[in-house]
Amino acid sequence: MDFCCDSNRVGIMKGIQVFRPRLLIGLMAVMALIAGACGSDTVTETVTVTSIVEVEVPGETVTETVTVTSIVTEIVPGETIKFWSTETQPERLEITKGIIDRFTAASGISVDLTAADENNLPELMITNAASGTLPDVVFHPLDFTVLWADQGLLDQAAAAAVIDSLGRDTFAAGSIDLATYEGQPTAVPSDGWGQLLVYRKDLFDAAGLAAPDSFANIKAAAEALHDPANDMFGITAATKAGEVFTQQTFEQFALANGCNLFEGSDLGIGSEKCAEAVDFYVDLMRNYSPGGGQDVVTTRATYFAGQAAMIVWSPFILDEMAGLRDSAFPACDECAADPAFLASNSGIVTAFSGPSGAPAQYGQTSYMGIGTGANVPAAQAFIEFWLSEGYLDWLSTSPEGKFPMRRGNAANPTEYVDGWQTLETGVDRKAALSEFYPQATIDAIAAGADNAARWPIGVEQGILYTELQFPALIADLVASGGAAADKLADLVKDVMASIELATG
């Protein structure tokens, strides 16, 4: 039987763990690799289990016996684990390598670091599961974690043990709850941020415009300040297909209008609230923003050139607006004399509302997951080091966008939050955020990371995220126009088909 193509579940009858059949071969391969890679000093245990495969032929059950080598049961100096991270910027990689070096010096365990683009991560995980080469530890966003757990790509029990070891009460409760699947955490929370709508406060004040904290105020400002003949657009935001950034940006508008993926047991994305949110977003992007597919780089470049009145971005933009990073340096006319001009003349809105919803702010949380078949003790030791001895170093890579999901420890419950507030931001130049932004902005960053909303992340939502279906919808509508309701009806069908295919 071709397990990779069969849509039925496979039960491994020892501990009654259930895995997706397309991953069974990969799981066996992982176990075999562990047996060969651990070395002669590693303590291992070999057990024989029986796997029962349920096939679609009525009355027929195929039973086969396989031998599986268990995961290592102790940490052995000299081992090497694989760590994947979505942080690909050179300066963040340097800090990551520094944390790894300290961990290796303390534990004797080496870490192979791979930087993987966030947009490619789901496909890479599936591919490596099939070949038995999943990472021991993977740094990833909330968008993927529950679906990966459902697919058998993550070791939930190993992650839960880390949380318990560090102290469950030392983490923000919401960060654990968001990534819980079938009653158990899927991965260990690391850090998070809340999305911002940044606007040119000087232009708003001069035009007598209210802060863009509602669909009505956003639209009024976009109309009043849009002047493409003079290189000024009302707003710039993500529209490119195949980009997680487009999903993140649109989701805030959906949340703000009360648009949810599910309404009870029914898909909610076909609702009037969702159609209203899509129509509003597409109208902004078609009529008041630069043309073409917009992404992380182009939206920031437009705002930094002084050519947009508003931008939707993560708080990672704040240090760059202050002129602290040469590779993303403000280029507006006023910025030549004052590199921090945009920081001084921009306001931020954390939550805004649509006509059918309440104020909402999108947020993102990142996690450290342990891959199925990992060297569990070594992976756990690395994550515990990451979230203790290495934690403030990690947060320092970009503190404006990395609020600690682990608040402190048993000795000092607020150690990491307190330490976060002292960190300097920037790349080529370092400075405290308080040198450029009022305390209210800094407080808003912390509050956003703590309280920001998301569509509930279940298996179905995970499918939508990994397939990036909403970014494709947004890109199509921005390019071609049309009514959102018609397109959403097609999207509902596609999502239902994907769910049926994935869950069997």
pLDDT for residue 11: 27
Condensed to tens digits (0 to 9), the pLDDT of residues 41-51 reads 433 333 323 23
Q: Cβ of 339: how many Cβ atoms within 10 Å?
A: 18
DSSP string, 241-270: TT-HHHHHHHHHHHHHTT--SEETTEE-TT
Condensed to tens digits (0 to 9), the pLDDT of residues 380-420 reads 999 999 999 999 999 999 999 999 999 999 999 999 999 99
Report percent pLDDT > 90 for the chain: 64
Question: For residue 321, what pLDDT band results from cuts at 50, 70 and 90?
Answer: very high
Question: For residue 176, what pLDDT band results from cuts at 50, 70 and 90?
Answer: very high
Give domain status of residue 434, yes or no. no
Q: Are strands 110-115 and 80-85 parallel, antiparallel or unpaired?
A: parallel
pLDDT for residue 501: 61
pLDDT for residue 481: 85
CATH number at residue 146: 3.40.190.10
Asked if residue 300 and residue 257 are part of one domain, the reply reads: yes
Distance CA 311, CA 299 (A): 7
pLDDT for residue 30: 34
Asked if residue 207 and residue 354 are part of one domain, the reply reads: yes
Please give the mean pLDDT across all residues of the chain. 83
Rg (CA), the chain: 24
What is the residue range of 227's domain?
196-360+468-503
Asked if residue 273 and residue 401 are part of one domain, the reply reads: no
Condensed to tens digits (0 to 9), the pLDDT of residues 418-428 reads 999 899 999 88
Which residues face 266 on adjacent strands?
263
Distance CA 376, CA 353 (A): 44
| Rounded-to-5 percentages of helix, strand, coil across the chain | 45, 20, 35
- What is the count of structural domains for the chain? 3
Asked if residue 372 and residue 327 are part of one domain, the reply reads: no
Asked if residue 277 and residue 177 are part of one domain, the reply reads: no
